Amino acid sequence: MAGHNRRAGESLVEQTVQMRRAPLAAAAARPAPAGGRKPLPPLEIPLRPAPRALLSRALSVPLVVALVGLLPAGVAGLAQPGVRDATFWLQLAVTCYAGARLAAMVLTARRRLIQGTFWLFGYVAMGVAPLAQIVLGQTPTPLMGARGDFTLAVALVLLGFVAFDLGTLLARHRPAARGARVRRPALVSRPRLYVLVVVAYVGSAALIASFGGPGPFFDSRQAISDELTAGGAATSQVGSAFLRGFGTVPALLALLMLTRWMVLSRRARRNPRVLLPWVGLVLVNCIVNNPVSNPRYWFLTVLFALLFTVFPRSPAVYRAALAGGVAAAVLLFPFADKFRYDADGRSAQAESSSVLEPLVLKDYDQTVMFANTISYVEAGQGQGRGHTLGRQFASSTFFFVPRSVWPDKQLDSGVKVGQWMGMSNVNLSSPLWAELWLDFGPVGMAAGLMAVGYAAARTDRRFARSGHVSRDPGSVLATVVPAVAGYSFILLRGPLLQATGRIGIAVLCLALVTTFRSDERKLLR
C-alpha cells in the first residue's frame, strides 16, 4: 500500500511538472514565420533535476553556512567588551542581512548574476570587512568626523540593502503590459563583429606601442601609471583614460562574443576564420587585461565575465563563483597588492599579525569613506559644499565633456573627499551609497538603490528567460549580462566618474555589433 501511494505521488509530481513546463516546450518547437530564422529543435525537459545540480547544491549548503553563519560570529567573537556599542551591533546586523541574501542567491534555482554580485560585494566590502575594522579599532583611511557619522553610515548601508530588496520585489510583481508587441532580440552581426575584432586589435596595439612593448604590462601597476603620467602614452589624464579604455574594453567584448560563439556552435569551433581571431584575442587580453598591471576590480570583471560566458548554463559554476568569491575576497584579494607597486620598499603588502588584518587594508575602505563623505557634507553646510543635487551624477554621466568646456564639472567623489581630508593619495573609493547620498541625501539614496534593485532584477529575469537559456550564439543579452555582473564590483566601489569611461566605450562597441534583423546570412551560426 505504501509503495502504491509513493508511485502515485511521483506520477502526480511528474504530471504537474509537465503541465507547468508545457508552454515553454511548445514555444521552443513553434515554427518560425516565413523568411525568418530556422525553428529550434523541440525542447526536452527532464522530470528530475540533474544529479550534478543536486550535488552542487549539497556542497554549497555547508560552505554558505560556514561563510555566512560562522564567519560573522567568529569575527564578532574577537571583539572586546568595550567595542560592543551600538555601531558594532548595527554592523553585525548589516553583515548577517547581507549574508542571508548572499546565501539565497547561491541556493536559488535561477541564476541571478547581477543580484548575486551585488550581495557578494555587500557581504564582503560593506559587511565582514567593516565588522573586522570595528573589532580591531582600525580603519583603512582615517575617520575624520565623529563616531556618530560612522554609525549613521552603517545605518544607511542597511537602509540601502532594504531598498535594493524592495526594488527586486517591485520587479517581481510588475504587472504584464497588455497588448505589448514582442520585441525582436538583439543579435550580433557577424560582419560587424569582425569589425569590432579589428578595432580591438588596433586599440590594444596602440596601447602596447605607447609603452614600447608588452614588458611593462607584466611589471606592476605603478609602472603603468608612471608611463601614463610621464607623457609617453598621453598628454592628459582624460587622454590616458581613453587610451587605456580603448586598449582593453573592445578586446574583452570581442573575446566574450567569439567565446560564446565557439561554445555554442560546433561549426564555429571548426572554422579558422573564428578560431584564429579568437586565439589572437586570448593573447591580446593576456597582455592588456592581465591581473598584474590592472586594478584588481577590473580583473574581477574580466574573470566573472569569462567564467559565465564559458559556462553559460552551469548552476554549479554560478554557485561556486559566489560562495568561493567570499573566501577569495577575504583570504586572497588583499594579498594581490604585491602587484601594485615596484619592489623598491614602497610595496604595501600585508604583513598580518591577525587573521583579520587583511580586512583593514585600503581595499575595504568603503564604509569609512561613506562616513567621511557624510562628515564632508556636514562640515560644508553653509560653505557651498553640501549636497550636490545631481551635479555629481551629471558629471559622471557626461564624463567625456572636457573641463575647458564645462568649468564647473565635478571632481571624482573620492578625490573631492580625499582632498578635504588632506590625504596625499586621493585614489579613494566612493561606494554607490556615498555617491547617491552626496547628490540627493538619504531619501534619494534609498530611491536610487531601489531603482538599482529593480533594474538588476528585471535584467536577471530577462537573462534567465531568454539569455543563458537561448541556444543562439549571437545573443547580445547573454554577452552583456555577465560583463555587467563583473563590472558591478567597480560600479559599487566607485567613484562613478572613474567607472563611466569604460561604460561609454562598451556602449559604442555594442552599438557597432548589434542588429535586430533576422538575416541568417549575417548572423552567428
Position with higher pLDDT, 255 vs 219? 255
Of 16-30, 145-159, 397-411, 495-509, least confident by mean pLDDT is 16-30
Per-residue confidence at 355, pLDDT binned at 50, 70, 90?
Answer: low
22 torsion bin: left (phi>0), alpha (psi -120 to 50), beta (else)? alpha
Burial class (CB in 10 A: 0-12, 13-18, 19+), 468: buried
Which pLDDT tens digit goes with each residue over 504-517? 999 999 999 998 87
* Mean pLDDT of the residues in the chain: 78
Does the structure show a pLDDT above 50 at 346? Answer: no
- pLDDT at position 215 is 82
The conformation of residue 523, written as its DSSP 8-state character, comes to B
- pLDDT at position 24 is 46
Q: What proportion of the chain, given as a percentage, has pLDDT over 70?
A: 74
Which pLDDT tens digit goes with each residue over 226-236? 555 554 444 45
* Kind and range of the H or E run holding 449: helix 432-462
Q: Which grid coordinates are listed for 196?
A: 569590432
Which H, E and C letters describe 72-129, residue by residue?
HHHHHCCCCHHHCCHHHHHHHHHHHHHHHHHHHHHHCCCCCHHHHHHHHHHHHHHHHH
Partnered with residue 514 across adjacent β-strands are 188
CB 380 within 8 A of CB 386: yes
Which residues does 356 contact at the CB level (< 8 Å), separation at least 6?
75, 78, 132, 135, 136
CA-based nearest residue to 497, from 352, 359, 402, 398: 398
d(CA 392, CA 435): 8
CA-based nearest residue to 193, from 475, 498, 448, 433: 475
Partnered with residue 523 across adjacent β-strands are 189
Does the structure show a pLDDT above 80 at 444? Answer: yes
Does the structure show a pLDDT above 70 at 19? Answer: no
The conformation of residue 514, written as its DSSP 8-state character, comes to E
d(CA 172, CA 112): 13
d(CA 205, CA 203): 5
Q: Where are the domains of the chain?
A: 55-172+187-334+356-524
Which H, E and C letters describe 146-166, residue by residue?
CHHHHHHHHHHHHHHHHHHHH
Count, in order, helices (H) and strands (E) of the chain.
20, 2
Give long-range contacts, CB 8 A cutoff, 24+ apart: 19-24. Answer: 21/45
Sole residue written with cell 586565439: 279
* Kind and range of the H or E run holding 240: helix 237-264
Of 42-51, 180-189, 458-467, least confident by mean pLDDT is 42-51
Does the structure show a pLDDT above 50 at 495? Answer: yes
Query: Phi/psi of residue 424, each to 5°?
Result: -75, -35
Residues 458-469, mean pLDDT to the nearest whole number: 74
Which pLDDT tens digit goes with each residue over 369-400? 999 999 998 887 545 567 888 888 888 888 88
Which pLDDT tens digit goes with each residue over 135-188? 888 888 888 988 889 999 999 999 999 999 999 999 987 665 555 566 677 888
Which pLDDT tens digit goes with each residue over 104-127? 888 877 788 899 999 999 999 999
Q: Which grid coordinates are listed for 61?
A: 549548503
For the chain, what is the radius of gyration of the CA atoms? 25
Most confident among 65-79, 308-322, 504-518 (mean pLDDT): 504-518
- pLDDT at position 368 is 93
The conformation of residue 426, written as its DSSP 8-state character, comes to -
Position with higher pLDDT, 270 vs 28? 270
CA-based nearest residue to 484, from 466, 506, 462: 506
Angle between helices 476-493 and 496-513 (to 10 degrees): 170
Which pLDDT tens digit goes with each residue over 241-254? 778 888 999 999 99
Residues 321-340, mean pLDDT to the nearest whole number: 68
Which residues does 10 contact at the CB level (< 8 Å), separation at least 6?
none
Position with higher pLDDT, 39 vs 217? 217
